[in-house]
Every structure is written in C-alpha cells, then in structure tokens.
Amino acid sequence: MKVRNNQKRGNARAFTLVELLVVVSIIALLISILLPSLRKARDSAKMTKCLAHMRGMGQAAMVFAADHNDRFQLTATEDGINYADPDKNRYAYGGDGEILSWPVAIAQGAGMNFSNNWDWGVRAQERSIAMRKQRRMNRNLEIVKCPADKVEVSSPWYPQETSLKGTGDPEDPVSGGNDVRYWGFLSYGINEDITGVDLDTEPPACWRTVNNGTQWVECLGEHRAHPASPCGKAPNYGRRLRGQLEKVNRAADVGFIFETGPDKRDSNDEWQANLVFSATPSATTKDMDAAGPYLSNFQRTQAQRMPRERHLDRKVNVCYADGHGGSAKPVEFDPDTDLPLKYAPRVRVSPYSITGYSGD
C-alpha cells in the first residue's frame, strides 16, 4: 500500500509556467475590467453623500433662519456688518462679539454646540499656516465637507481682518488684521448676493435687468453702466439681500450653497475664498466680474473657485434657496477654455428676476 501511495504522489501533475502565466493574465484582465466599475461606484457613492450633505445644510440653514427672524447669517466686512446690524441684534455673534461665520451658523442650525468661530476653525493669514493647525480644526461638522474634496481645508472668507474680535481661541490666540481669517474643513461656498450687504456709498452689486421703457437693459454692477443708464435709476433694486431668504426671486432656481474650491491644492489663497456672486460693483475689479445671472457665468470668470473634476461628468451639487439640494451637469463647453457654458438644470446665482435676459 505504501508503494502505491508513493507512486500516486510521484505521478501528481504540477502547473506548467505557461499555465500559470495564463491564469495570471486572466486575473489581470478581470481586474482591469472591474477596476473602472469599482472606481465609478466609489465616486458615485461620494457624490451621493455630498448631495446628502447639501440637503442637510439646506435644512440647517432653514432652521437657523427661523431662529433669527427669517435671516440667514451675514457675510460682510466690518463696515458691512456695522451698516446692516448697528445694534448687533439681527445676526448671530460669538461670546466675544465676533460675528459667526456661515459654517458655524450651519452647525447651530443642525443642533451642534458651536458658540464661537474657533469651535469650527482656526485663525491664520494663509492656508499653509492653517494647514499646520489642522489638529485644532473641528472634524465633527461633516455636512460642510464633501468626501470627494481633495483640498479639504478652505476659508469662508468672512469674518476677516478688522471684523475679527479679540484674539480668538484662548488656546491659540491670533489677532485680527493683515488678511487674517478663519480656515477649516470646508468644501462649499455661500451665495454672496443673498448673504452679503451693499453700503449706501456702493452701487447695487447683484446682476439684474432694468426696463428703460422700451427694452430690458442688463446691469452687471454699476461701473459697467453709463451714468444715463436706467441701471442706476433703481437704487434699491439689485442690492445684496443681507441673508433675507424670503426676498429671493424663484428660490427653487437660485443656488444658495455651492460646491467651491479648486480641484488641487493651490498656492493662491484667493481661490480659497468660498463666495459665489453674480457681479461686483468695484471699478477696480473688472477682471473679476461675473458676466451674468447663472452659475456658468460665474465659473467662466472665476474658474479656479469652482471644482471641475470633483465628481463624475463634472457635476456640481447645489443647495437652493428654498432648502432643497440637487446636482447640475455641464452640457455645453467653451471650445477654447473647456469651461462650462451651460448647466442642466440652469442654476441662477442672482436672486433677482431675469425677465428680459436672453444671454447665457
């Protein structure tokens, strides 16, 4: 019996090198076929989660506004804050009297115990300095962070400089001024047309159209208009809304919170200004002006402030001014710059009526 067993073992056939190579090739082929599908499924899951965050922010914003006389938080300079809220009773402030940034307002609307800006982020002049303080940034406010965002740390821009009160976090004191602002985990930007403010000394900043009696005239910030233009004859029409969501025209079509920020880490801190707008009134910033009421208009002139590779099909998620969330897909591109010329559905930035506007 033992001899027979040994014979059987000796006759056992091993795999040849060719057979092993064939098996390895088949496995490699299967992996190459499956990997794109797995990657697409992973990216799709991230986009779905991002969209859920958008909807969560919309709900939190509505709760916050309901608790603050139907106003969402103001985003403005110190002059703008003093002008819009001289008695400091319309908007939310921290214990030191510093106006809260909009991510902190979202946290409060979501029921989180955030009382000061440093409960969320850190003060720093530059992103590189803020990156060294990541351990002090609060990761618990997940709804302001897209899982597909590779940059992660960004700035809401306001409050900044002189509107920063005291030295901020007692454990990490940094005085205001000299471009100092807050930085934290943030993938989204706010519509400054809705949450900003124009001073009496400034012309209306929002894109809008004005009828001069015979035709509709496009107004892109007053410095674009001739002094005799009807754009300057409606002083209250076209001004930023100071957080008053109920004043948004067709709120279901106007973006309130957008995905913002570059796709890759960039040394230019200007691209980390998470603000979206339809026009600006300053004659010194003509090269920074958006060219119309839609998101595609903003992106064409502020390309680095909008992601183009974060999600499949270059989609961006949007929380609208009525609180609902949705995805917008670019369906037409500029052949020279490859920037979106049109999204489906159309997403407006300007909160004003676009009656009479025929452009893109």
Tens of pLDDT, residues 183-218:
999 999 999 999 999 888 777 888 888 777 777 777
Q: For 46-50, 170-174, 356-360, which range has the lowest pLDDT when averaged over its residues?
A: 356-360
For the cut 70, the answer to whether the pLDDT of residue 101 exceeds it is yes
DSSP-derived secondary structure letter, 124: E
- pLDDT value at position 285? 46
Check residue 289 and give its pLDDT. 57
Query: Residue 270's pLDDT band (boundaries 50, 70, 90)?
Result: low
The pLDDT of residue 354: 81
- If one compares 215 and 339, the residue with the highest pLDDT of the two is 339
Going by C-alpha positions, the residue among 282, 253, 274, 217 that lies closest to residue 350 is 253
Query: What does the pLDDT read at residue 21?
Result: 81
**How high is the pLDDT of residue 228?**
57
The mean pLDDT of the chain is 86
The DSSP string of 45-108 is HHHHHHHHHHHHHHHHHHHHHHHTTTBPPP---HHHHHHH-TTS-SS-B-TTSPBPPHHHHHHH
pLDDT for res 235: 57
Only one residue has tokens 């002049």, namely 125
**For residue 224, pLDDT beyond 80:** no
pLDDT of residue 304: 82
Lowest mean pLDDT: which of 55-64, 237-246, 276-285, 289-298?
Answer: 276-285
Q: Is the pLDDT of residue 237 over 90?
A: no
> Average of pLDDT values for 116-129?
95
What's the one-letter identity of residue 151? Answer: V
The residue ranking higher by pLDDT, 27 or 71, is: 71
pLDDT at 22: 81
Q: How many CB atoms lie within 10 A of CB 19?
A: 10
Using alpha carbons only, what angle is made at residue 125 by residues 264 and 119, rounded to the nearest 5 degrees?
90
Give CA–CA dist 304/287, Å, rounded: 14
State the Cα–Cα distance between residues 49 and 224, nearest whole angstrom: 41
Query: Locate tokens 């691209």: which residue?
Result: 271
What pTM value is reported for the model? 0.86
User: What six digits make up the tokens of 54?
Assistant: 């958008």
User: CA 309, CA 262: separation in Å to the nearest integer?
Assistant: 9
Confidence class of residue 234 from pLDDT cuts 50, 70 and 90? low
* Confidence label for 33 from pLDDT (cuts 50, 70 and 90): confident
